[in-house]
Amino acid sequence: MFTTRFAPSPTGYLHLGHFFSAWTAFSRARAERGVFRLRLEDIDPTRCRPEYAAAIVEDLAWAGMFWDGAVRVQSRHLVEYGAAAERLERMGLLYACFCSRSEIARAQAAPHGAGAVYPGTCRRLSAEERADKMAAGLPYALRLDVGRAMAGAGKPRFFEESEGWVTAAPELLGDVILARREVPTSYHLCVVHDDAVQGVTHVIRGEDLRDSTHIHVLLQHVLGLPTPVYAHHRLLTDAAGKRLAKRDFAATLRSMREAGETPAGLWRRVGEFRAVA
């Protein structure tokens, strides 16, 4: 059964850009007579707030966008994500990274540095160096060893609706963090786990997550999970061409509603955007 989802992080109120994303997935699910699921990606307690989570559910319901089944709330499933991280660790695909943000920034900026990608400093630590740092109680995060994971995964591919078959290039993002001390999992791991748990056959989301898809497809391969079809849509921008962000309060569904906008008006707006896109 065609199944897609909308998976916002409750770090602020929904704005028109989110609504466009939700609407794109929702309309497609309805056109396919499929399933539309809602998931709240609230694993980061430093950025997510329960009042935003409640507001997302309320705003979507007000807008007349109904989802199938229960809302999946990620913070209630940390044990599952921890188990997935442990599996990867047992496969030897994670390594401890002790680098601070500033150390990483310095290494990236160095001549021949890796640009925005983690330069792999801690991947090259000897077992002894690693044990010493652990014994000294240094804080660390667990990173995915992309090179090693790729070596065992062959050449994973995914179907992107606008492009056709794409060979995964997870080196675009490199050795991403899959777990931290404060949050024992990460966006990448939770998304992959939950898309499988929720039976998602089509991931429809903004093109800002296009590079992440390459990591997700690799994780699906090593964890033995199915790879959905992907469709990355364009992002809504403001009149100046700047991407809408949560800080642009003027465009939140709440403020629009307070200013007298109706659900029908909202649907017209996103529909018109698609018509001219």
Angle of helix 210-223 versus helix 78-90 axis, rounded to 10: 70
Report angle CA 224, 227, 231 to the nearest 5 degrees: 160
Cβ-based nearer residue to ligand GLU, 143 or 202: 202
Using the contact rule CB under 6 A, the part of the chain among 3-11, 62-70, 86-94, 140-148 near ligand GLU is: 3-11
Cβ–Cβ under 8 Å, residues 123 and 145: yes
**Sheet strands (E) in the chain:** 3-6, 35-40, 72-73, 94-97, 141-144, 157-160, 164-167, 177-179, 202-206, 229-233
**What is the Cβ-side half-sphere exposure of residue 54, based on CA atoms within 13 angstroms?**
3
Using the contact rule CB under 6 A, the part of the chain among 4-12, 137-145, 249-257, 266-274 near ligand GLU is: 4-12
Cβ-based nearer residue to ligand GLU, 41 or 145: 41
Residue 185 interacts with ligand GLU (CB under 6 A)? no
Q: Which positions from 222 through 261 interact with ligand GLU, judged by CB under 6 A? A: none
Residue 214 interacts with ligand GLU (CB under 6 A)? no
Q: Which positions from 186 through 205 interact with ligand GLU, judged by CB under 6 A? A: 191, 205
Residue 41 interacts with ligand GLU (CB under 6 A)? yes
b/e string for 58-92 if b means 16 or more Cβ within 10 A? ebbeebebebeeeebbbbebeebbeebbeebeeee
Residue 209 interacts with ligand GLU (CB under 6 A)? yes
Cβ-based nearer residue to ligand GLU, 99 or 219: 219
Cβ-based nearer residue to ligand GLU, 42 or 145: 42
Q: Is the dihedral of CA 123, 124, 125, 127 positive or negative?
A: positive
Q: Which positions from 94 through 133 interact with ligand GLU, judged by CB under 6 A? A: none
Distance CA 9, CA 43 (A): 9
Q: 233, 234, 236, 235: which is closest to 269 by C-alpha?
A: 236
Using the contact rule CB under 6 A, the part of the chain among 2-10, 63-71, 79-87, 229-237 near ligand GLU is: 2-10
Identified binder of ligand GLU from the candidate list 3, 4, 8, 43, rule CB under 6 A = 8
Residue 10 CB, nearest distance to ligand GLU (Å)? 9
Residue 73 interacts with ligand GLU (CB under 6 A)? no
Residue 250 CB, nearest distance to ligand GLU (Å)? 20
Cβ–Cβ under 8 Å, residues 55 and 13: yes
Q: How many residues does the chain have?
A: 277
Distance CA 53, CA 41 (A): 9
Residue 134 CB, nearest distance to ligand GLU (Å)? 31
Residue 186 CB, nearest distance to ligand GLU (Å)? 12
Residue 213 interacts with ligand GLU (CB under 6 A)? no
The residues binding ligand GLU (CB under 6 A) are 7-9, 41, 191, 205, 209
